[in-house]
Amino acid sequence: MRIIYSGTSFTLIFLMFFMLNACSGIGENNDNLGKIHFYSLNALPASNSNQSRLKIGVGPVEIPRLLNRPQIVSRKNETEIQMSESHQWGGSFKEELIQSLTDNFSALLETDNIEQYPWKFSFKPDYQIRINIERLDGQKGKSVYLKARWRLLKKNKEILVKHTNINTPVSGNNYAAYVKALGNALVILSKQIAKHIQ
């Protein structure tokens, strides 16, 4: 028996074969086939000598709405924003950022008496750190830029208001290096604030 394929039949068979191959590759380790990578901000390691009696309140911390999303935000250039669907935060970016700052302050000031805003009524901080992050982004393979305004209160009295600009290099051209640089910028900010706390 002789089977004759028309042009239309051949095209349909080819398309079915292509689609089956594409579907079979979705589970493979391939960045181009829908795999999502999740990230978390780094912070300073915890101090082994947290003996300070200082009570520190962190917050409120404000961030731009642009950053408060699952996708990691970077820049293609000075005016064009890029949001990656395949590289996302493991949780809420704002919560990640506040936790990173809290861990940094705990390590730098050697205290476990640290709470995030809003804290319980019974907690009376010696110092309160209010931070408004105005910008925290950059370009992969180049640098990360952090712009922030922060206020330091001592016993509910404002003692310092500062505006900080930080530019830190990104050590690689991938998202892991970019996220590491974001965390490094927050460490630098934390150190600048902590040196004013005694």
Assess whether pLDDT exceeds 80 at residue 1. no
Question: Is residue 7 located within the same domain as residue 64?
Answer: no
Write the pLDDT tens digit of every residue in 35-64. 999 999 999 998 777 678 899 999 999 999
Confidence of residue 8 (pLDDT cuts 50, 70, 90): low
Q: Is 196 exposed, middle or buried (0-12, 13-18, 19+ CB in 10 A)?
A: middle
pLDDT > 80? residue 193: yes
Examine the domain organization and report whether 27 and 112 are in the same domain. Answer: no
Q: How many whole angstroms separate alpha carbon 109 and alpha carbon 42?
A: 18
* Global pTM value: 0.82
Q: Please check whether residues 52 and 106 belong to one and the same domain.
A: yes
Instruction: List CB contacts of 128: < 8 A, sequence separation 6 or more.
Output: 56, 57, 58, 59, 117, 152, 153, 156
The end-to-end CA distance of the chain, in Å, is 94
Residues 130 and 149 in one domain: yes
**DSSP calls for 51-105:** -----EEEEEEE--TTTSSSEEEEESSSS-EEEEEEEEESS-HHHHHHHHHHHHH
Report the CATH number at residue 112.
3.40.50.10610
> Is 29's pLDDT higher than 60?
no
Q: Which residue has the tokens 């699952």?
A: 70
| Together in a domain, 2 and 71 | no
Pairing outcome for strands 81-89 and 37-39: parallel
The answer to whether residues 49 and 136 belong to one domain is yes
CB 179 within 8 A of CB 39: yes
Single-letter residue type at 117: Y
Q: Chain-wide mean pLDDT for the chain?
A: 87
Number of domains in the chain: 2
What is the domain extent for residue 124? 38-194
Q: Are residues 59 and 134 in the same domain?
A: yes
